[in-house]
Amino acid sequence: MRERYAPGPLTGPDTARSDEQFSAIDLFAHLLVDGMHVTRVGEDVRVTGDMLVNDVTIEVSLEALQRLRQLPDEGKVVIPILRRKELMLESFEARDGADNRLAHLPQHLTDGLLAWAIKGLFQLAYAPDHELTTTQNSKLYRLIGLICRTDIIDPAEFEVAYTAIVGNTGGTGADDPQLLRSICGYFAGNTVSAVEVDVAEAEQIYVRFQDITTNNRLASSHDRHRTRLGIRPYRYRIPINLAYYAHIYDLSVTGHESHFVFKHYLVESAGQTVNEVLPSHLATEPGMGLRLDRNQGIPHTGLHIRGLNRAVARNLECVAEFEEIPPGALRRTLVISAVCSFVMLAFAFAMPNAVSDSKGTDLAALLLAVPGFAATLVGISTDRVQQSSLTTFIGLVVSASISFAASLLYVLQTLLWRESPQLRLSILGVVKLPSGDVVWMVFAALSICTTVYLTVEGTYRMHRYLAALRRRLTPSNAQA
């Protein structure tokens, strides 16, 4: 590797100089620290059930490096491309401005370049004027092993491990040791790929790769309830590590076509604590900007950032919460509950006479079939239920349970328990109703309460959706 990218003698990597050309191996380390070669990063995240498919586009410009004379006049250089750890890399492709395909270096070579960069930072911070001691070398190798782990290291765990490794390392270098800590902390949750470029043939590079990750379905109690009931997730958290990698960063999130984004915000993770972060708390310096797309009743939202590459990296995530477009499965569940309520009321007043005349139990099948028959009429399906809300699922379960219990009660009354308690009701003491079975009235009351609750919930969700649609008519299309 050294013979290929630094044919001259090497005394140690240099990440600090800017007034002369870098060797290829030093340029790689310099770009890891500076990142001036990346002009824009775009992430397009598509929600597919439990999976998040992320298409990333990174635009790299070598023109700025050529103006600063940090590129060699000829030969090949290696450009670092940052990625998140623990993601299934489906594809990786790099092309220059003429659409020529560029070489993607094997990961073991890239890890070697990363280790060389960390060695340079370590030496500049702790031993700039002499070779590393045996103790310092031992600590350096342990530090490289830490950041080259393939799993994501929790920030709190990293701080403990970093302090245990570096500790009271001797030396007083000119470089701030915090830079080494910051770079190592970044690579505790991220990794790097590398692209080989001929400086004489390329000024612009376009890197595109696709990775797949799974969504965390146990982040909150609400998520855990949906998971236990077999309902698909509605909240998705997307790390935005690459926002600190380029001056321009754009993120788009697209969900299922039957859903819309009703909530969109940023959070910061600190150990087990997750706190919401306002955009104004991130864009604190001139030239920085952060904009969240407004929720407009569509299955798409976005995040647009400018200048965050000059800020200290934080463990930020973009959260998008989806909701089914009303009326959806909730309205269908309401119809099923209403039909069930009507049947329960009819049996409540018909059972006293029906029990004395009945000689069979054929009506029990009718009671069991009521929810299924109503579901067929309104067109509800298992797939729609899995994409719906907890309210919809609970409404269906209550209707089916009442119908099943009613069929058992009918069998019991027609065969064994013919003398069930009865109650005579009237409307305002004027209109007297026929005698009704008390147990059936309880079933009817439960079903009516469920119907009323579904009606209120459906009305509230429709108002929320209409409010999102009205935002399309406002002049501003984004929120600060």
SS (H, E, C) 254-269: ECCCCEEEEEEEEEEE
pLDDT digits (tens, 9 = 90+) for 81-132: 988 887 888 889 999 888 889 999 998 889 988 998 898 888 888 887 788 8
Q: Are residues 317 and 410 in the same domain?
A: no
Residue 442 has pLDDT above 80, yes or no: yes
Torsion sign (Cα): 165, 167, 173, 179: positive
Per-residue model confidence (pLDDT) at position 430: 57
Domain boundary among 324, 359, 380: 324
Strand partners, 194: 80
> Which pLDDT band, with edges at 50, 70 and 90, does 17 fall under?
very low
Is 477 domain-assigned?
no
Domains in the chain, number:
2
Residue 390 has pLDDT above 50, yes or no: yes
Per-residue model confidence (pLDDT) at position 373: 66
Token pair of 402 as six digits: 């009442």
Work out the percent of the chain whose per-residue pLDDT is above 90: 21
Phi-psi region of 379 (alpha: psi -120 to 50; beta: other; left: phi over 0): left
Is 192 domain-assigned?
yes
Question: Is 53:87 a contact under the CB 8 Å cutoff?
Answer: no
Domain boundary among 289, 324, 359: 324
Per-residue model confidence (pLDDT) at position 478: 46
**Domain span holding position 155:** 2-324
Return the ∠ at Cα 247 (arms to 85 and 52), rounded to 5°. 35
Residue of higher predicted confidence among 14 and 66: 66
Per-residue model confidence (pLDDT) at position 453: 95
Residue 429 has pLDDT above 90, yes or no: no
Kindly report the length of the chain. Answer: 480
Q: Are residues 101 and 178 in the same domain?
A: yes
Residue of higher predicted confidence among 44 and 245: 44
Range of weakest confidence among 35-39, 118-122, 327-331, 364-368? 364-368
Per-residue model confidence (pLDDT) at position 480: 40
Per-residue model confidence (pLDDT) at position 461: 93
Q: Are residues 382 and 233 in the same domain?
A: no
Is 215 domain-assigned?
yes
Residue of higher predicted confidence among 375 and 398: 398
Question: Is 18:37 a contact under the CB 8 Å cutoff?
Answer: no
Q: Are residues 356 and 311 in the same domain?
A: no
> Which pLDDT band, with edges at 50, 70 and 90, does 73 fall under?
low
Q: Find tokens 């070489």 and name the residue.
A: 103
How far is Cα 117 from Cα 126, in angstroms, rounded to an integer? 14
Range of weakest confidence among 2-6, 412-416, 423-427? 2-6
Q: Are residues 302 and 346 in the same domain?
A: no
Token pair of 214 as six digits: 């799974």
Q: Are residues 318 and 188 in the same domain?
A: yes
Is 478 domain-assigned?
no
Residue 414 has pLDDT above 70, yes or no: yes
Dihedrals phi, psi of 338, to nearest 5 degrees: -65, -40
Averaged pLDDT of the chain: 80
Per-residue model confidence (pLDDT) at position 72: 66
Q: Are residues 309 and 344 in the same domain?
A: no
Per-residue model confidence (pLDDT) at position 454: 95
Residue 202 has pLDDT above 80, yes or no: no
Q: Are residues 300 and 395 in the same domain?
A: no
pLDDT digits (tens, 9 = 90+) for 86-98: 788 888 999 988 8
How many Å is the maximal CA-CA distance in the chain? 107
Is 159 domain-assigned?
yes
Per-residue model confidence (pLDDT) at position 67: 66
Contacts of 382 (CB under 8 A, 6+ apart): none
Range of weakest confidence among 141-155, 358-372, 446-460? 358-372
Is 476 domain-assigned?
no
Per-residue model confidence (pLDDT) at position 177: 78
Q: Are residues 66 and 204 in the same domain?
A: yes
Closest CA to 87 of 182, 158, 191: 191
The separation between CA 201 and the C-alpha centre of its own chain, rounded to angstroms, equals 39
Is 474 domain-assigned?
no
Per-residue model confidence (pLDDT) at position 5: 46
How far is Cα 79 from Cα 193, in angstroms, rounded to an integer? 8
Range of weakest confidence among 4-18, 373-387, 407-421, 443-457? 4-18
Is 320 domain-assigned?
yes
Residue 157 has pLDDT above 80, yes or no: yes
Q: Are residues 340 and 309 in the same domain?
A: no
Q: Are residues 133 and 189 in the same domain?
A: yes
> Which pLDDT band, with edges at 50, 70 and 90, does 358 fall under?
low
Per-residue model confidence (pLDDT) at position 260: 92
pLDDT digits (tens, 9 = 90+) for 260-282: 998 899 998 776 678 888 888 88
Domain boundary among 307, 324, 341: 324
Q: Structure pTM?
A: 0.78
> Which pLDDT band, with edges at 50, 70 and 90, does 308 fall under?
confident
Q: Are residues 299 and 410 in the same domain?
A: no
The separation between CA 327 and the C-alpha centre of its own chain, rounded to angstroms, equals 26
Question: Is 260:325 a contact under the CB 8 Å cutoff?
Answer: yes
